[in-house]
Amino acid sequence: MPLDRSSAGDPARSLELLWRVPADAPRRGPHQRLNVDTVVAVSIGLADVDGLDAVTMRRVAQRLGVVPMTLYTYVPGKAELLDLMLDTAYVQMSRADTAGQPWRVRLTAVAEENKALFEAHPWAATISTSRPPLGPGMMAKYEHELQALDELGLDDIEMDAALAFLLTFVQANARSAAEARAAQQDSVMDDEQWWAANAHLLEKVFDPRAYPTAARVGTAAGAAHGAAYSPEHAWEFGLSRVLDGLAARIDHRTDSTETGPR
């Protein structure tokens, strides 16, 4: 299955569009009733409701009441459109002012801001950003999030890696949560109802004596969550462990700075 990724189009054209660099020469012909922002907004609306596969030049054109070729006046293709959609979502993110707060509070805010982004735009969690769209939204997001890690004794490479570590967890959790919601919608049952309806089938083939640890742990987790997987518990447990891991590195750096070379 092809992976949607940012920066997969023409880099020069994407950067021009992301930063809204004016064209070298004015367009001739009738007054343009659309603009890039309108095209992007409609595309995001489609993706939010029907997923990223629904965002085609034809579907977007239909929503805008124009022929597909008209869209190419504004955006050269879906790859560049995807960069614009993602960067626009970044621009619109809520960003808390946590200056002066403890670093765990600052990083928790960063995590929750990204969680909110993926809840509002589930398609954003499915995109690979190993080559991020270097637009104003991305740069503002990166600057804001790095400030939560500044002056903690980490060097620049460690700051970047620590942020990537945190955001990778948030994105993975968002994907799992979206899959859980999709499973519930497809089956028209919540997880507790699904297990109640199908437990007798598992009992016919599963021998708890052959898998005693799995039986014990699975039963305990299922009873606690009412399901085999709880996105909420995974979020709370995972975020705490991510912060604990970063604390070990930050504390080590702080201790090294305070003691100095021996």
Q: What is the pLDDT of residue 197?
A: 81
**Are 48 and 76 found together in one domain?**
yes
Question: Can you give the CATH number for the domain in which 223 is found?
Answer: 1.10.357.10
Task: Give the pTM.
Answer: 0.90
**Are 31 and 150 found together in one domain?**
no
100: helix, coil or strand? coil
**Are 38 and 158 found together in one domain?**
no
CA distance 84 to 133: 8
| Bridge partners for 5 per DSSP | 128
Average pLDDT over residues 125-149: 97
User: In the predicted model, is pLDDT for residue 29 greater than 70?
Assistant: no
Residue 3 within any structural domain of the chain: no
- Which residues lie below 8 Å from residue 85, measured CB to CB, with a gap of 6+? 40, 43, 44, 47, 55
**Are 233 and 107 found together in one domain?**
yes
Residue 4 within any structural domain of the chain: no
**Are 127 and 202 found together in one domain?**
yes
62 and 133 in contact (C-beta within 8 Å)? no
Residue 6 within any structural domain of the chain: no
222: helix, coil or strand? helix
**Are 113 and 22 found together in one domain?**
no
| Number of structural domains found in the chain | 2
Predicted confidence band of residue 190 (pLDDT cuts 50, 70, 90): confident
Predicted confidence band of residue 24 (pLDDT cuts 50, 70, 90): low
Q: What is the pLDDT of residue 193?
A: 82
Residue 97 within any structural domain of the chain: no
Q: What is the pLDDT of residue 30?
A: 47
Domain boundary among 91, 118, 153: 91
Q: What is the pLDDT of residue 183?
A: 84
Q: What is the pLDDT of residue 250?
A: 94
Question: Can you give the CATH number for the domain in which 41 is found?
Answer: 1.10.10.60
CA distance 178 to 96: 25
Q: What is the pLDDT of residue 259?
A: 54
**Are 66 and 117 found together in one domain?**
no
Domain that holds residue 66: 11-91
- The torsion angles phi and psi of 128, rounded to 5 degrees, stand at -80, 125
Count of Cβ atoms closer than 10 Å to residue 13 Cβ = 16
Rounded to the nearest integer, the mean pLDDT of the chain is 91
**Are 84 and 109 found together in one domain?**
no
Average pLDDT over residues 235-247: 98
CA distance 155 to 148: 14
**Are 232 and 133 found together in one domain?**
yes
Q: Cα–Cα distances in Å, from 155 out to 88, 149, 261?
A: 30, 10, 17
Predicted confidence band of residue 154 (pLDDT cuts 50, 70, 90): very high
User: In the predicted model, is pLDDT for residue 136 greater than 60?
Assistant: yes
pLDDT digits (tens, 9 = 90+) for 57-95: 999 999 999 999 999 999 999 999 999 999 999 999 999
Domain boundary among 58, 91, 124: 91
Q: What is the pLDDT of residue 33?
A: 82
**Are 127 and 70 found together in one domain?**
no
| Bridge partners for 13 per DSSP | none
**Are 25 and 83 found together in one domain?**
yes
Q: What is the pLDDT of residue 252?
A: 82
Residue 98 within any structural domain of the chain: no
Q: What is the pLDDT of residue 255?
A: 66
According to DSSP H, which parts of 51-190 are helical? 57-64, 68-71, 78-91, 103-120, 136-147, 156-187
